[in-house]
Amino acid sequence: MGSKKEDQEKTKPIEIIEEVLPPPETTTLLVEDAPALKRLLTLNLEIYTATKVVNKYNADDLVEYLKKNKKVDLIICKNMIGKENTILKTYYYVKSNRLKIPIILLGKNPKLHNEVQMIDPGDWKSVIKTSAKLLNVKAQNMIRQELPDYYPIETKTLLILNNAPIDIMKQCDDGTFEILYKAQDKIDKSKLRQIAIEGAHFLYIKKKSRLKFAQNFSNDVQSVLQKEMTDNDRIYATGATFSYSKQLITTSGLTEGAIEMAQTTIGSMLKLTESSKELTKLLEILSESEEGYLYKHSVMIAIIASNVISKMEWGSKSQKESICFMAFFHDITIPDDDLCQIQTNSGLEKAEVSPELKNKVRNHAKDAKELIASYPNVPYGAESFILQHHGTKTGIGFSENPTDPNISPMAIVFKIVEEYVDVCIHPPKGGLKREEYIEHLKKIYKAGQYKKVVEALEQVLIAPPKKEEK
Ligand SMILES: [Fe+2]
Ligand SMILES: [Fe+2]
């Protein structure tokens, strides 16, 4: 089975032709919090420019490092980390201390025109090429680095398995790779956890074995997830299959393997919605887990929305399955976890990312609907529910009419629950007060299905229902 072009594009080594013997002992500081991009950049910078990459969490962390270590040759920095204006803080520190360190901004910032190199983070090859230039990697000194192609797998993904499906490699400090597990080796989970804690968030397989890995992993993981397990273990294990599914879909589209993995993940999400654990407890475990926003909010939506559906007069078991399906696919085409948090047109306009990324966010509901066109057995109506999950009939942008009557009831449940989940994950100062939040929703959603959904949500969140609310 041939892999798709896009896939090849993503994993083939970048072509730095005629280049690269790395200059001796350079250091690059990287401030990027998206794990996959961080890993991709670190790995390729080390391979192609031989610079030592030091990862920093934010601007403060970077400044601390610069105070103690004068010898830094390049800074690669994200625009914002959380609410911190990371690039501006970094730039002003470097400038005011006359450090003369070149800076690459992963993204755009109008305040820094001509001051730093701005590169779209999606174009990671340009980041590596520009870094090579800025680090003075000279053409005449180059060696051609014929490293085999490796494909990264999140370490936590492997924690679900009892045995290695194929050979698994680990990257050593000098950039070379060594076998950590041979095929069929037993995986010692505490040792693997330790490896992850020490910073190896990714392990590697040979690129050409990717399909074999996917098949074996899929079989193994299905048998693991079908067994009884605690909610905590299931949240963790489902998180791993969720992110692996997303990786497969992003790199190769909805292939057979990706569909199988998605089905396994959705099945496990459904099991979580049927948990006997008290809702508050379950939500607490989820919001405190270290999983990314995409997974966390998708599972929380699935759990709360399926409870809301049980309270609706039209609610049924098959609609709960639909909700899990929707929760899995609704934001899957958004490339970055942070961008999944955008819920309004104005939020999208303000986001400091490239126009391409903005478009991806703007069209993500439509793209998700198109993606699932090749999925077998899509639950009845799920395409249009996904298309409308931000309240628009076209799946483009975010609705400016909070009570549009043309939106299907399932999409209304999803939309209102998603708003609530977002507040759960980012509670206001002083904590989230459910009663107050419900009152706030009642002021927005005053009629029709919208009103009914808020009432159902109130019953789910505030049990037993209060007789007389002030
Ligand atoms: Fe979402
Ligand atoms: Fe969305």
Per residue in 411-462, pLDDT (tens digit) is 999 999 999 999 999 888 888 899 999 999 999 999 899 999 999 999 999 8
Q: Name which of 154, 320, 307 is nearest 242 in CA terms.
A: 154
- Cis status, amide bond into 409, omega within 30 of 0: no
Calculate how far, in angstroms, residue 13's C-alpha sits from the geometric centre of ligand 1: 33
Quick one: average pLDDT of 69-88?
Answer: 90
Q: What is the DSSP letter of 160?
A: T
Q: Which ligand is nearest to the CA of 391?
A: 2
Q: What contacts 220, CB < 8 A, 6 or more positions away?
A: 160, 161, 162, 163, 165
Whether 137 has a pLDDT exceeding 80, the answer reads no
> What's the confidence (pLDDT) of residue 138?
59
Angle between the N-to-C axes of helices 210-226 and 231-252, in degrees from 0 to 180, rounded to the nearest 10: 150
> What's the confidence (pLDDT) of residue 463?
65
Residue written as tokens 């594009």?
Answer: 9
Query: How far is residue 29's CA from residue 51's CA, in Å, rounded to a whole number?
Result: 10
Percent of the chain at pLDDT above 70?
A: 90
Calculate how far, in angstroms, residue 340's C-alpha sits from the geometric centre of ligand 1: 6
Calculate how far, in angstroms, residue 3's C-alpha sits from the geometric centre of ligand 2: 28
Poorest-pLDDT segment among 99-108, 153-162, 377-386: 153-162
Strands 168-171, 177-181: pairing is antiparallel
State the pLDDT confidence band at 395, using cuts at 50, 70 and 90: very high
> What's the confidence (pLDDT) of residue 296?
94
DSSP assignments along 210-242, one per residue: HHHHHHHHHHHHHHHHHS---HHHHHHHHHHHH
Quick one: average pLDDT of 142-170?
Answer: 75
Percent of the chain at pLDDT above 90?
A: 47
Whole-Å CA distances, 123 to 118, 126, 130: 11, 6, 11
Q: What is the DSSP letter of 18?
A: T
Segment 335-355, tens digit of pLDDT: 888 899 999 999 999 988 888
Quick one: average pLDDT of 32-39?
Answer: 77
Segment 288-323, tens digit of pLDDT: 877 889 999 999 999 999 999 999 998 888 999 999
Strand order in the sheet with 74-78: 52-56, 27-31, 74-78, 103-106, 117-119
Calculate how far, in angstroms, residue 342's C-alpha sits from the geometric centre of ligand 1: 8
More confident residue, 103 or 120: 103
Give the 3-state secondary structure of residue 259: helix
Whether 2 has a pLDDT exceeding 80, the answer reads no
State the pLDDT confidence band at 149, using cuts at 50, 70 and 90: confident
Calculate how far, in angstroms, residue 107's C-alpha sits from the geometric centre of ligand 1: 23
Q: Amino acid identity, residue 268?
A: S
- Determine contact, residues 80/109, Cβ cutoff 8 Å: no
Calculate how far, in angstroms, residue 414's C-alpha sits from the geometric centre of ligand 2: 10
More confident residue, 136 or 8: 136
Quick one: average pLDDT of 173-179?
Answer: 82
Quick one: average pLDDT of 64-83?
Answer: 90
Kindly state the helix (H) or strand (E) to which residue 164 belongs, with its residue range. Answer: none
Q: Name which of 144, 166, 375, 371 is nearest 259 in CA terms.
A: 375
Segment 49-65, tens digit of pLDDT: 778 889 998 999 999 99
> What's the confidence (pLDDT) of residue 142?
36
> What's the confidence (pLDDT) of residue 183?
92
Q: Which ligand is nearest to the CA of 364?
A: 2
Calculate how far, in angstroms, residue 313's C-alpha sits from the geometric centre of ligand 1: 25
Q: Which of 58-62, 247-251, 325-329 has the highest mean pLDDT?
A: 325-329
Mean pLDDT score of the chain, rounded to an integer?
A: 85
Q: Which ligand is nearest to the CA of 334?
A: 2
More confident residue, 21 or 333: 333
Calculate how far, in angstroms, residue 440's C-alpha sits from the geometric centre of ligand 1: 21
Q: Which ligand is nearest to the CA of 293?
A: 1
Calculate how far, in angstroms, residue 63's C-alpha sits from the geometric centre of ligand 1: 34
Quick one: average pLDDT of 168-194?
Answer: 87
Calculate how far, in angstroms, residue 336's C-alpha sits from the geometric centre of ligand 1: 12
Q: What is the DSSP letter of 338?
A: G
Q: What contacts 309, CB < 8 A, 6 or more positions away?
A: 315, 316, 319, 320, 323, 413, 456
Q: Which ligand is nearest to the CA of 294?
A: 1
Query: How far is residue 56's CA from residue 77's CA, in Å, rounded to a whole number?
Result: 9
Sequence-distant contacts of 345-354: CB under 8 A, at least 24 apart = 345/397, 345/398, 345/400, 347/398, 348/397, 348/398, 352/79, 352/80, 352/107, 352/108, 352/109, 353/79, 353/107, 353/108, 354/107, 354/108, 354/120, 354/121, 354/122
Calculate how far, in angstroms, residue 52's C-alpha sits from the geometric centre of ligand 1: 37
Whether 8 has a pLDDT exceeding 70, the answer reads no
Q: Residue 431, exposed/middle/buried by CB under 10 A (0-12, 13-18, 19+)?
A: exposed
Calculate how far, in angstroms, residue 330's C-alpha sits from the geometric centre of ligand 2: 6
> What's the confidence (pLDDT) of residue 148?
54
Quick one: average pLDDT of 129-143?
Answer: 69
- Strands (E) located in 12-146: 27-31, 52-56, 74-78, 103-106, 117-119
Q: Amino acid identity, residue 318?
A: S
Segment 195-240, tens digit of pLDDT: 887 878 788 998 788 778 877 887 788 778 878 888 888 888 898 8
> What's the confidence (pLDDT) of residue 1?
41
- Determine contact, residues 370/345, Cβ cutoff 8 Å: no
> What's the confidence (pLDDT) of residue 40?
73
- Determine contact, residues 412/457, Cβ cutoff 8 Å: no
Calculate how far, in angstroms, residue 383's C-alpha sits from the geometric centre of ligand 2: 13
Calculate how far, in angstroms, residue 164's C-alpha sits from the geometric centre of ligand 2: 35
Q: Name which of 147, 117, 113 is nearest 130 in CA terms.
A: 117
Calculate how far, in angstroms, residue 279's C-alpha sits from the geometric centre of ligand 2: 23
Q: Which two tokens stand for residue 441?
A: 């929703």
Four-CA torsion 46, 50, 51, 56, nearest 10 degrees: 10
Kindly state the helix (H) or strand (E) to which residue 309 belongs, with its residue range. Answer: helix 293-311
